[in-house]
Amino acid sequence: MSKEANKKEGGFFGSLIHKPLFMPILMLILVLLINLFKDPGFFKIAIKNGVLYGRLIDVLNRGSEIAILALGQTLVVAVSAGTDISVGSVMALAASGGCMVLAGYGNTSVTGIVAPIGIGILVGILFGLAGGSINGLLVAKLKIQPMVATLIFFMAARAIGLLLCYNQIIYIRYQPYQYLGNFLPGSIIPTPILVTILMIILMELLLKKTSLEMYIQSVGINSRASRICGINSDLICFLCYAICGMCAGVAGMIASSRIYSADSNNIGLNYEMYSILAVALGGNSLAGGKFNLAGSIVGAYTIQAIMTTLLAMGVSTDQSPVIMAIIIILIVVFQSPVFKDWAAAKKKNKAAVKEAA
Q: Average pLDDT of 327-349? A: 82
331 has pLDDT over 90: no
User: E strand or H helix at 110, and its extent?
Assistant: strand 109-110
Cα–Cα distance measured from residue 97 to residue 99, given in angstroms and rounded to the nearest whole number: 6
Would you kindly state where each structural domain of the chain is located, as residue ranges? 10-352
Q: Average pLDDT of 277-285? A: 92
Q: Average pLDDT of 332-346? A: 80
Q: What letter would DSSP give residue 46?
A: E
- Check residues 111 and 319 and name the one with the higher pLDDT: 111
3-state helix, strand, coil in the chain (%, to 5): 70, 5, 25
Mean predicted lDDT score pLDDT of the chain: 91
Cα–Cα distance measured from residue 342 to residue 283, given in angstroms and rounded to the nearest whole number: 18
What pLDDT score does 1 carry? 47
Give pairs for 51-54: CB < 8 Å, separation 24+. 51/183, 51/187, 51/188, 51/189, 51/190, 52/188, 52/189, 52/190
pLDDT (tens digit, 9 = 90+) per residue, 23-77?
Answer: 889 889 998 888 888 788 888 999 998 999 998 999 999 999 999 999 999 999 9
110 has pLDDT over 50: yes
pLDDT (tens digit, 9 = 90+) per residue, 180-233?
Answer: 999 999 999 999 999 999 999 999 999 999 999 999 999 999 999 999 999 999
Q: Average pLDDT of 125-133? A: 98
For residue 267, give the 3-state DSSP assignment: coil
Helix crossing, 87-103 with 271-281: angle to 10°?
Answer: 130
Contact 194, 61 (CB under 8 A): no
State the architecture of 10-352 in CATH terms. Orthogonal Bundle (1.10)
100 has pLDDT over 90: yes
330 has pLDDT over 90: no
Q: What letter would DSSP give residue 204?
A: H
Q: What letter would DSSP give residue 268?
A: T
Task: Assign 328 a pLDDT band (cuts: 50, 70, 90).
Answer: confident
- Report which residue type is found at 232: N
What pLDDT score does 39 carry? 80
**Antiparallel, parallel or unpaired: β 46-48 and 51-53:** antiparallel
Q: Average pLDDT of 239-262? A: 98
Candidate from 5-14, 205-214, 320-329 with smallest mean pLDDT? 5-14
Q: What contacts 327, CB < 8 A, 6 or more positions away?
A: 31, 306
